[in-house]
Amino acid sequence: MSKSDLLALAERGVERALELGADEAEVFLSVSMGRDVYSEGQRLKAVAPSSQSAQVRVAKGRRVAAAVATSCNRDVLEELVSRAVELASKVEEDPHWRGLPDPEPPLHSWVGYDEGVATAEIGWLAELVRGMIDEAQRTPGVKVTVASAGISVGRYAMANSRGVSVEERGTRCSLGIYLKAGEGTGGEWASSRSLLRDYYPIVDAAVKQALDASRASKLGETLKAPVLFRAKSFAQLLASLLVPAFSAMSVLEGFSPLANKLGQRVLGALTIVDDGAMSGGLATSFFDGEGVARRRTILVEDGVLKSYLHNTYTARRMGVASTGNASRGAGAVGVGPSNLIVMGGGYSESELEAEAALVADGSLLSVHTVNPVTGNFSVVISNPYAVKGGELTPVKPVTVSGNIYEVAALIKPARRVKDTRTGIYTPDVLIGGLTVSG
């Protein structure tokens, strides 16, 4: 199906919904293709998934419903549209519904589509994986669990009954490796919109983690102390604990501790920006999940809450403009972040290390179980280091617990902002007053 065919089909779906009695309609169609090679131990496996998604949202008055299918086929879309219109006639009114978004031009010109990624051969990805395994196993005692290299290419077309008619495309390339050295584990991964082929830093980081972990000893005590989170570790905490609280949907529904806190100091010295228009960003696009232009939004400035993340629904309900953060999933249009940037502070990493009792590196296990409703978190650090006399000594996994808002005044970001290659750009961050046990 050519590019214009997809958009024409989306527009036709919108017309059909209106013919069937919908007052407003939106059709989102996407097509994606992936090529992934990964190893199970040292054995390679190659997969080439190809998927389509059709998502229809319609409103009859203030009654809204959605239907989703895994095909952009014309007949499937026809069935979806009628199902969505039928559902909308049965559901009750949403008193807060104020309609679909109006069309607007994009606010930037950067296209995250790399022809080199789109045309990468699966055989070449297999070579990368073999290279990663060989490189990792050059270090005696290291055993690869999984090494992977993959690309994905996607495009979407979206139309609504208010005149939104947009399409764009994107690429992504990812490399990752997880390995063991004795009883220690290490892992590193990276994603980019362009081709990634330099795997040495990824392998080196994972090997170092695993070797350090293999000689780790038990911390053997419970401390109330400052913990320095490495950028990638802090990014995981940010994504699970704070991002849900920034969602205006969570705020409206009473699930965010940041409700009614606009203008108040909530996060110490942190400045956090959502920027879906950033050149080179992993999550950059022209439009969000409902056709609103991606933009830059300051969420927190010097700890003071400035804005929530909005889609059109939450924005209209709260009387502000959408921040271009509509997300899509399972038929629902929700709120989600784009690129998140934590601004650098006034400290060097070594200054913060000197202040910390523990350095948190690697994965935060159980980070998906933190409580964004209260700000409570209790996670296990996979690769921690105890700081003693200026030296970093690896220790076995420890638990770190606290409440992010209660210790907000004790947060200190380092100066250098790092690309964690996960869509989050952050410095190392010191958080004081946490309980560490292991």
Query: 375 to 414, contacts with other proteins by CB under 8 A?
Result: 376-380, 382, 396-397, 399-401
Sign (positive or negative) of CA dihedral 351, 355, 361, 366? negative
Side chain identity, residue 414 = A
Question: Which 63-122 residues touch other proteins, going by CB under 8 A?
Answer: 64-73, 76, 80, 83, 87, 90-92, 94-96, 121-122
Are the CB atoms for 97 and 59 separated by under 8 Å?
yes
Nearer to other proteins, 203 or 249 (CB): 249
> Exactly one of 321, 354, 373, 409 binds other proteins (CB under 8 A); which one?
373
**Alpha-carbon Rg of the chain, whole angstroms?**
23
Q: Shortest Cβ distance from residue 181 to other proteins (Å)?
A: 10
Q: Is 106 exposed, middle or buried (CB count within 10 Å of its CB: 0-12, 13-18, 19+)?
A: middle
In 10 A of CB 201, how many CB atoms? 11
Binders of other proteins in range 28-57 (CB under 8 A): 35, 37-38, 40-52
User: In whole angstroms, how close is the CB of 278 to other proteins at the nearest point?
Assistant: 25
Q: Residue 122 CB, nearest distance to other proteins (Å)?
A: 4
19 or 183: whose CB is closer to other proteins? 183
- Residue 267 carries which DSSP code? S
By CB under 8 A, the residues from 328 to 367 that bind other proteins are: 330-332, 363, 365-366
Q: How far is the CB of 58 from other proteins (least distance, A)?
A: 11
What is the C-alpha to C-alpha distance for residues 127 and 134, in angstroms, rounded to an integer?
11
> In terms of CB distance, is 380 or 392 closer to other proteins?
380
Q: In terms of CB distance, is 235 or 342 closer to other proteins?
A: 235
What is the spatial distance between Cα 156 and Cα 178, in angstroms, rounded to a whole number? Answer: 33
Q: 404-429: string of b/e by CB count within 10 Å (b at 16+)?
A: bbebbeebbbbeebbbbbbbbbbbbb
- Cβ of residue 417: shortest distance to other proteins, in angstroms? 28
The distance of closest approach from Cβ of residue 324 to other proteins in the complex, given in angstroms and rounded to an integer, is 20
φ, ψ for residue 368, nearest 5 deg: -75, -5
In the region spanning residues 188 to 247, those forming contacts with other proteins, defined by CB under 8 A, are: 213, 222-224
DSSP 203-248: HHHHHHHHHHHHT-B---SEEEEEEEE-HHHHHHHIIIIIHHHHBH
Interactions with other proteins, residue window 243-262 (CB under 8 A): 249, 253-255, 257
CB of 396 vs other proteins, minimal distance in Å: 8
Binding to other proteins (CB under 8 A) within 127-146 occurs at 143, 145-146
Q: H or E element: which one contains 368?
A: none
Cα distances from 339 to residues 83, 202, 275, 298, 414, in angstroms, run 35, 22, 5, 12, 19
Contact pattern from residue 152 through residue 191 relative to other proteins, giving x for each residue in contact according to CB under 8 A and a dash for the rest: --------------------------x-x--xxx------
CB nearer to other proteins: give 41 or 201.
41
**Residue from 82, 137, 191, 374 binding other proteins (CB under 8 A):** 374
User: Shortest distance, CB of residue 331 to other proteins, whole angstroms?
Assistant: 3
- Tokens representing 321 are 């403009």
The span of 58-66, 196-204, 344-352, 410-418 binding other proteins (CB under 8 A) equals 58-66
Cβ-Cβ contacts under 8 Å for 37 (sequence gap 6 or more): 44, 45, 46, 47, 122, 125, 126, 128, 129, 148, 149, 150
3-state secondary structure 322-352: CCCCEEEECCEEEECCCCEEECCCCECHHHH
Instruction: Name the phi and psi angles at 281, rounded to 5.
Output: -70, 145
Q: Which is nearer to other proteins, 194 or 378 (CB)?
A: 378
Nearest-approach distance from CB 289 to other proteins, in angstroms: 14
Mark residues 268-307: x for contact with other proteins by CB under 8 A, - for none.
Answer: ----------------------------------------
